[in-house]
Amino acid sequence: MTPFGRRVRDLRAARDVTLTEMARAIGVTPTYLSALETGKRGKPTWALVQRIIAYFNVIWDEAEDLQRLAELSQPRVVVDTADLSPQATELANLLAREISHLPPEAVAELLGRLKILRRRG
């Protein structure tokens, strides 16, 4: 599941909306919406994100958060390390190989550390 998919599913659950109802309202199939939520489809288009924001009638911070999560929700990522250090290439390869074996706590810890480093940089 992608971060965007999780947020959409949480919004639907909080508002007691079925997948079929929402899909019909935003102009997609229930199959597509389900695949978007579970990460079986790539990140949504800007237009679709806008329809989802309008559907849930969210504004300001929550709308910006949905847009940010959509940008971070590509389920298949390619990392180009061609012009980076050997350590960066090693990190990218190690993460690609090991991420499916990491416990959720380790993933959360690594994500938190990367966010801290990004803010410092």
Q: pLDDT digit string (tens) for 66-104?
A: 999 999 888 788 899 999 999 999 999 999 999 999 999
| Mean confidence (pLDDT) of the chain | 94
Residue 80 lies inside a defined structural domain of this protein: no
Residues 26 and 67 in one domain: yes
Tell me what pLDDT residue 5 has: 95
Residue 52 lies inside a defined structural domain of this protein: yes
The yes-or-no verdict on residue 50 having pLDDT over 90 is: yes
Residues 18 and 46 in one domain: yes
Looking up tokens 């989802």, which residue turns up?
52
Residue 26 lies inside a defined structural domain of this protein: yes
| Confidence label for 121 from pLDDT (cuts 50, 70 and 90) | confident
Residue 90 lies inside a defined structural domain of this protein: yes
How many other CB atoms are there within 10 angstroms of residue 109's CB atom?
12
| Confidence label for 1 from pLDDT (cuts 50, 70 and 90) | confident
Q: Which domain holds residue 48?
A: 3-71
Residue 35 lies inside a defined structural domain of this protein: yes
Residues 67 and 93 in one domain: no
Q: What is the distance between the alpha carbons of residues 93 and 19, in angstroms, rounded to a whole number?
A: 36
Residues 23 and 62 in one domain: yes
